[in-house]
Amino acid sequence: MLKLLLICTLAVASRAEIVEEDDVLVLKKSNFEEALNAHPNILVEFYAPWCGHCKALVPEYAKAAGMLKADGSVVRLGKVDATEETELAQEYGVRGYPTIKFFKGGEKESPKEYSAGRTADDIVAWLKKRTGPAVATLAGVTEAESLIADSEVAVIGFFKDVDSDGAKAFEKAAEATDDVPFALAASDDIFAKFEVSKDSVVLFKKFDEGRNTFDGELTKEDLLAFVKSNQLPLVIEFTEQTAPKIFGGEIKSHILMFLPKAAKDFDDKMDEFKKAAEGFKGKILFIFIDSDVDDNQRILEFFGLKKEECPAIRLITLEDEMTKYKPESQAITAESIIGFCKLFAEGKLKPHLMSQDIPEDWDKTPVKILVGKNFEEIVFHPSKNVFVEFYAPWCGHCKQLTPIWEKLGEKFMDNADIVVAKMDSTANEIETVKVHSFPTLKFFPAGDERKVIDYNGERTLEGFSKFLESGGKDGGAPAGDDDDDMDAEDLDDVDEGQDMDSDGEDDDGHDEL
């Protein structure tokens, strides 16, 4: 008996304790598998204590955990300090913070990437869609009212015959939507309460006009387009919480208004911006950025703006390559913004490329200074081999490279065929060269072919010297083979980047743009 008691005691003691903080499970390598066994459905956030976005998520994540617990849900939320649990983070391919993954049914091999917003409501809605039926059935008016009251956005299909083709198309659209709850209503009292007289689909929301009624052919594709064009406000403010919705959506053309909320004419300018947005719903996303917020300063810098230059309007496309556009008029009126958007839609705008003025002493130092205005002339000179560092003033890796790069310039300064140069890519943009991370090193060999070779060798004086002396062969690769491509959301995650170590910089020696 004593032996059995001892065995049981040891078995219990060997189980790793799962601590909770604000209803969130604190997970480690030692208790991760046990947590999955005890709670088959867990949303897990891999975070870094120094990460600003992770800190901003803390209250919303805890609120979501509490909401699920209060509802009696079996779904739990957990968190892993990826800077401490490096083995666990590596196992699940964590490359940036926060990374959020959903483990369903105790399955640990292929967790689903979380893809919705960063508010408690977003998190709960996404999890309910992932663990419950794609479409809820509303028994009466009270259930319908509760769904609408509890959801920022909800879609109700009003169908007398729930087996009709329209209802089936509605269900298919629901299955393809992660972040909005869908429900079916068939009873006469629900139809009457919401003044619906025939089969239709209505999107209810807590902003703008309050509800939108679908008007078109009931197909999965048309219903999805309807939801996507109406589920966001006419004007959405850029914040930590809204960033995933902004960058993760299907609308890749964004117009941004940079304006301090404290401005006396804030409401007037916002009204003009909203008026302009009405005609481009589902085509161009209208975004407001508070130019006084410290966390938004890097975004201003990305567009070549300073706080004192705001209010300002810019447009950007987030396709394979980001392209920026600047209106000719600085006026923030519905008329001027509509005209600007129409020219963009018609393909009549030229990209806006930033450039500093050419410094008077640009060629007086061993490392030549390039800007947008002299770039083409220097790097594509037919008799020069030009090696360029594209850098950012705030980039830690760039700062580490500076003394080596200057020594390289000194070594080759008397070589008439070789030019060692640098360009601040936060203030200068080139149509022919897209920079995705810092520092980026590219070699432009002499000739008329306008070739570009990426440098992928060691960042040492010896490595750079061999590369130049070999004509770009030793340590080079054709341009375009760089793996450090920037995602659209990196505009939001500029401080966290990807492949981060505990110092906030990536392990492969790049800072993301």
388 or 483, higher pLDDT: 388
d(CA 412, CA 421): 11
Residue-level pLDDT at 12: 39
Percent of the chain with pLDDT over 70: 89
Residue-level pLDDT at 508: 45
From the list 307, 299, 312, 255, the residue with the least C-alpha distance to 492 is: 299
Q: How far apart are the first and last CA of the chain?
A: 65
| 329, 270 Cβ separation under 8 angstroms | no
Q: What tens digit of pLDDT does each residue of 270-322 get? A: 999 999 999 998 889 999 999 999 889 888 888 888 888 999 999 999 876 78
Q: What tens digit of pLDDT does each residue of 468-496 get? A: 999 988 875 655 544 333 333 343 433 33
d(CA 460, CA 499): 22
d(CA 328, CA 330): 7
507 or 122, higher pLDDT: 122
Q: Average pLDDT of 340-356?
A: 92
Residue-level pLDDT at 303: 87
d(CA 331, CA 291): 17
Active site members: 51, 54, 395, 398
pLDDT band, very low/low/confident/very high, at 417 (cuts 50, 70, 90): very high
Percent of the chain with pLDDT over 90: 61
Q: What is the DSSP string of 43-90?
A: EEEEE-TT-HHHHHHHHHHHHHHHHHHHTT-S-EEEEEETTT-HHHHH
Average pLDDT, the chain: 86
Q: Is the pTM of this model over 0.95?
A: no
184: left (phi over 0), alpha (psi -120 to 50) or beta: beta
d(CA 200, CA 314): 38
Tokens of 330: 């600085």
Q: What tens digit of pLDDT does each residue of 55-101 get? A: 999 999 999 999 999 989 999 999 999 999 999 999 998 888 899 99
- State the Rg of the chain over Cα: 27
pLDDT at 104 over 70: yes
